Amino acid sequence: MEDIAQTMRQDLQGAGKFLAFWLGKEEFAVPVGRIREIIPWQEITPVPQAAAYVLGVINLRGKVVPVMDLRLRLGMAGQDRGLRACIVVMQPDAKKTQSPIGVVVDGVSEVLQIQPGEVEETASLSSGWMHLGYVNQIAKSKGKVKLLLEMDSVLAGPMEVPADAEEPELAGAAKG
């Protein structure tokens, strides 16, 4: 876990620029240095016996790139893709030793500058995405909260939500 925190600190010490995107009503952000490109929605070739959140692969200028539904990976309910849905091709590791992976998001909102003073650790929050290590920091930028997604954990974490983990809550979701 300390390695993940170190990676996030290194990302923050860099340019401090993040790509913000939507998954439902939640706004997430990842360091711009991890983004290879953003491409419009396109046909995805399914891969048999892949994890439920893996939609398949695409051909990106002659290179096969796996694509995952980030909503499903984070344990969120799936939904129809809107007109703003796109595939963000990311570098899964900061050291750039792994092949890129595409993640489907509901829409890209902006590139923003986040100062280290605008970031808080999520150590006090122990459920949902925080429990799984997918979100270790939260940024307060322009009067809004952005969940800083830890891509190393998202890609390397457990394939299923542990039985003792609480379901992630969505903003504005009623408790039932």
Is residue 164 one of the residues assigned to a domain?
A: no
For 142-167, what is each residue's pLDDT tens digit?
778 888 888 777 776 444 433 433 44
* Pairwise CA distance, residues 44 & 137, whole Å: 32
For 92-118, what is each residue's pLDDT tens digit?
776 777 788 999 999 999 898 887 777
We report the CATH number of the domain holding residue 125 as 2.40.50.180
Range of the domain at 90: 2-156
Is residue 145 one of the residues assigned to a domain?
A: yes
For 4-46, what is each residue's pLDDT tens digit?
444 444 444 445 899 999 998 889 998 898 899 999 999 999 9
SS (H, E, C) the chain: CHHHHHHHHHHHHCCCEEEEEEECCEEEEEEHHHEEEEEECCCCECCCCCCCCEEEEEEECCEEEEEEEHHHHCCCCCCCCCCCCEEEEECCCCCCCCCCEEEEECEEEEEEECCHHHEEECCCCCCHHHHCCCEEEEEEECCEEEEEECHHHHHHCCCCCCCCCCCCCCCCCCCC
Is residue 167 one of the residues assigned to a domain?
A: no
Please list the residues that pair with 23 across neighbouring strands.
26
Is residue 35 one of the residues assigned to a domain?
A: yes
Within 10 angstroms of residue 29's Cβ, the number of other Cβ atoms is 23
Is residue 174 one of the residues assigned to a domain?
A: no
Is residue 36 one of the residues assigned to a domain?
A: yes
Is residue 88 one of the residues assigned to a domain?
A: yes
Residue 132 has pLDDT above 50, yes or no: yes
Please give the model's pTM, rounded to 2 decimal places.
Answer: 0.71
Is residue 161 one of the residues assigned to a domain?
A: no
Residue 82 has pLDDT above 80, yes or no: no
Domain count along the chain: 1
Strands of the 86-90 sheet, one edge to the other: 35-40, 86-90, 101-105, 63-69, 54-60
